[in-house]
Amino acid sequence: MTLATGDDRAVTPVVGNVLLVGVAIVIGVVLVTLSLTFLDGVGAPTAEASFEYEQTPVGLRMTATAIGTDVSVQLNGRPVATFDEGSAGKSVLVPTAPGDRLAVVSRDGEQSVLVDRAIDDREEIGNFIAYYTFGAGSGPTLVDRSGNGNDGALQGDPAWQARSLAFDGSGDYVAVDDFDTPVDSVDQFTVAVTYRTDDGSQKQELLEHKSADDNWLVELKPCSNAQVPSGTCSAGDDYSPVFSVDKAGGNQDEQIFGTGTQAGTRQVLVGTFDGSEHTLYVDGEKASTGDYSGEISMGDLTIGKDVEFDGDYLDGEIDEIRLYYTAFDDEEVRVLTTAME
C-alpha cells in the first residue's frame, strides 16, 4: 500500500520513517556539534580532562578529577604546569590574574584544546593588592588591574613599549599615592617584578613603599657598593638585586641580596614577607633570607625612583608588577615566576 502525495508521487511508510530518522540524526549531530563548540568556548571539561577549581591567595588551584591523556596547563598561551594521563587527584597551582586566559591542551600530536576559559571573576584570581601590566599602555596613567583602584601617575617622560614601560634614568618614575586600598597595614605580603636595567653602574630603585617609618623596597646596587656582601658578585657582574623590609625609620638593616647580575639581563624578582622573615627569589630560585617581624603599613608606592630623595632613577624597563596580601612558599614563587617570565 502506498500513500499518495499532492504531485501523484508516493512514499512507502518505511521509507518515510527512515527519512524522518535521518533528519532527526542530522539535527541531533548539529545540536551536539554546536553544544560542544559552545562548551569548549567557556572552558567546560571534556571526557579526556575534567577539573575542580579552588581559589587560593596565589590564584586557582586545579585538581584533576579525570585525565585521559597527557595535558599542558597554559596561562595566556604560556605553559605553567602539566598533568600526566591517569593522574586524577593531582593538583597544580596557577597564578591567575584579571583578564587571563586559562587553557588545557593535550600534549600529543593533535594539541587539542580541552579547556579554554577566561579569568574575569574576583573568585578566580589571587589575593592582589595591586597588579600592573606595562605592555601596550598609553597616556599618563598606569592602571591597577587588581580592582582595588591603586592607579599610578606617570612622572617625567617614561615611554610605553610593546610589552613594557621604559625609564630613562633621569626623572622618569610612576607615583601611586595613598596606597592603602583596601587595607592600611599587613603582616604578610609578596611583591614580584619583571624588569631589565641597561646601567649597572648606579644604584637604581625598582619600586619602594614608605609610610611614616615603615619601608620596603626592591632595588639594584652596583657590585662596587660597599654594602654588597663579599662573594655576591662574580667577574663581569654589574649589580645585585636587593629586597629590604624595615620598620626602623629607613636604616635598611634588614636588606638581603641576590646573586650578581649583568646589565641588560631580564629577570623576575620576588620578595615575600611572612611576618617574621623576608626572602628574595631571583628567577624562581631562593637567593637569601633575613629576619624581620612586625606589620607593614601601606602608604605611597613609587616605581622607578627613590622615595626619600630625587635620585636612584631606573634606567631600563619594567614589564609587570604584582603585589599580594600573603606570603608565598617556594612552589608558589616558582609558578608565579613562570607566569611572569
Per-residue pLDDT of the chain (341 residues; tens, 9 = 90+): 433 333 433 333 333 433 333 433 333 333 333 333 333 434 445 558 899 999 998 999 999 999 999 999 999 999 999 999 999 999 999 999 999 999 999 999 889 999 999 998 888 999 888 999 998 789 999 999 988 899 999 999 999 999 999 999 999 999 998 776 667 778 899 999 999 999 999 999 999 988 777 788 999 999 999 999 999 999 999 999 999 987 655 455 578 999 999 999 999 999 999 999 999 999 999 999 998 887 887 778 999 999 877 789 999 999 999 999 899 999 999 999 999 99
Cα-to-chain-centroid distance, residue 74? 12
DSSP 182: S
Q: Are strands 159-160 and 165-168 parallel, antiparallel or unpaired?
A: antiparallel
Q: What is the pLDDT of residue 247?
A: 62
**194 and 182, same domain (yes or no):** yes
Residues 232 and 265 grouped into a single domain: yes
Residues 193 and 329 in one domain: yes
**60 & 209 share domain:** no
Please check whether residue 7 lies inside any domain of the structure: no
Residue environment code for 233-246, b if the CB has 16+ CB neighbours within 10 A, otherwise e: beeebbbbbbbbbb
Residue 40 lies in a domain: no
- Alpha-carbon gap, residue 48 to 66, rounded angstroms: 7
* Predicted local distance difference test score (pLDDT) of residue 30: 36
Residue 39 CB contacts under 8 Å (≥ 6 apart), including other chains: none
Please answer whether residues 158 and 132 qualify as being in contact, where contact means their C-beta atoms are separated by less than 8 angstroms.
no
- Mapped to the 3 state alphabet, what secondary structure does 137-166 carry? CCCCEECCCCCCCCCEEEECCCEECCCCEE
The reply to whether 53 and 186 lie within a common domain is no
pLDDT attached to residue 9: 37
This prediction has a pTM of: 0.82
Calculate Rg over the CA atoms of the chain. Answer: 27
72: which 3 cell numbers? 599542558
Same domain, 149 and 92: no
Rounded to an integer, what distance in angstroms lies between the CA atom of residue 157 and that of residue 167? 8
Provide the CATH number for the domain around residue 263: 2.60.120.200
Give the pLDDT score at 249: 53
Q: Which domain holds residue 106?
A: 49-124
Whether residue 155 is contained in a domain is answered as: yes
Q: Which of 74, 100, 124 is the last residue of a domain?
A: 124
Q: What is the pLDDT of residue 47?
A: 57
Query: Cα–Cα distance between 226 and 224 in angstroms, integer?
Result: 6
Grid coordinates belonging to 230: 663579599
pLDDT at 11: 37
Picking from 97, 124, 151, the residue at the C-terminal end of a domain is: 124
Is 38 contained in some domain? Answer: no
Residue 33 lies in a domain: no
Q: Considering 124, 154, 175, which residue would you say is the last residue of a domain? A: 124
Domain count, the chain: 2
Q: Is residue 265 part of a domain?
A: yes
Contact assessment for residue 40 and residue 33, using Cβ atoms and an 8 Å cutoff:
no
Residue 307 pLDDT = 85
